[in-house]
A = this chain, B = another copy of it.
Amino acid sequence: MSERIPVGVLGATGMVGQEFVSFLENHPWFDLTFLGASDRSAGKAYREATTWRLGGETPVYVRDIIVSDSVPKGGPTLMFSAMDASVATEIERAFAAAGHTIVSNSRNHRMETDVPLLVPEANSQHLELLQAQQRLRGWNGRIVTNPNCSTIVLVMALAPLKQFGIKNVIVTTMQAISGAGYPGVASLDIVGNVVPFIGGEEPKMESETQKILGDFAGDRIEPLAAKVSAQCNRVPVVDGHTICVSAQFEKKVSEDELIEAWRSFRGAPQLKNLPSAPAQPVIYMDQTDRPQPRRDVERENGMAVFTGRLRKCPVLDYKFVALGHNTVRGAAGAAVLNAELMKAQGLL
């Protein structure tokens, strides 16, 4: 690829925006040249408009870029959206209407009928929804979304098992504080504590999973018929959502077959050798006490999902543990992988 594609990030000064900035540094295909934010930040250099909350300091390659406001008037065609849900609906639509391709991490459009909720390893064919989207909305541009940061862990663990007929899923999450942005969770709420509630998270996990694992049906997705039940908790972990899953299948399946299904699973990102694709998207660990967020979340550049502890469930068929990086595979990295897939499919 001789020339890098200019890209922008909308909502660039927030926590998720910073994660995009961090993830896109040295990207082989995408050249981050546009940083959009609110009017309050527009006109300032990025380093001045932003209090950098991630490790180290504001990356040099964006320090001096002047932040733009979030109105479509030029800028790169490809825009990642890291905007807060309170503003994302209107701005994303305005940019799409103006011909931009919005690859969004915001939740606003995920469940709309004609918007792909894309996990490239699981449902790359959902990109075909874009034809209906453009036709129905009269847009030159389009909107593609990635799932919620807890959904992605479940979906990546379930996608290789879809072949066995997923029937019932009960999942309990133990989610990292970085999933709530900044300032996000107050330390007085979480140090030495568990908070057994995350606003809106459980319905999202339940419905997004059904859509992602559903089938493309012309101008909409036929959701997976499985029932999904989620209980979501916040725990004092910095990065990495750990989930405990019990699942029931239509077909009779052995432990070895499940493990083999995870280990041999490859999707579009692996087949097309996308730059951010993990070589093996789901890694089953044999150790009795793994995966663990602090020890495993940074592996594979944060883009793989780890499973472990597969064993019989006395109520459903099997139970197991899964782990994924909520701000990488569950946010910025997910969106970038989505854009890479679109590029590889000639959609950019």
Contact = CB atoms under 8 A, between A and B. Distances in A.
A55 interface: yes
Nearest to A245: B231
Contact of A294 (B192, B206, B246, B292): B192
Interface size of A as a range: 35 or more
A137 interface: no
Contact of A170 (B54, B189, B235, B313): B313
B196 A53 contact: no
Number of copies: 4
Given A193-B295, A290-B196, A319 B231 contact: yes
Contacts of A193: 237, 292-295
A238 B188 contact: yes
A228 B315 CA distance: 7
B293 A55 contact: no
Given A174-B194, A196-B321, A309-B197, A244 B233 contact: yes
A178 B185 CA distance: 14
A299 interface: yes
Given A56-B299, A193-B294, A196-B292, A316 B238 contact: no
Contacts of A233: 174, 242, 244
A232 to B, nearest CB: 9
A127 B77 CA distance: 60
A308 B193 CA distance: 16
Contact of A55 (B196, B228, B236, B294): B294
The 7 closest A-B pairs by CB, nearest first: A183-B186, A172-B172, A197-B289, A193-B294, A231-B244, A192-B192, A196-B321
27 contacts: A55-B294, A55-B295, A55-B298, A169-B315, A170-B246, A174-B174, A174-B235, A177-B187, A178-B188, A183-B188, A186-B186, A187-B187, A187-B189, A188-B238, A191-B192, A191-B237, A193-B237, A193-B294, A193-B295, A195-B292, A196-B309, A228-B314, A229-B314, A229-B315, A231-B246, A235-B235, A236-B236
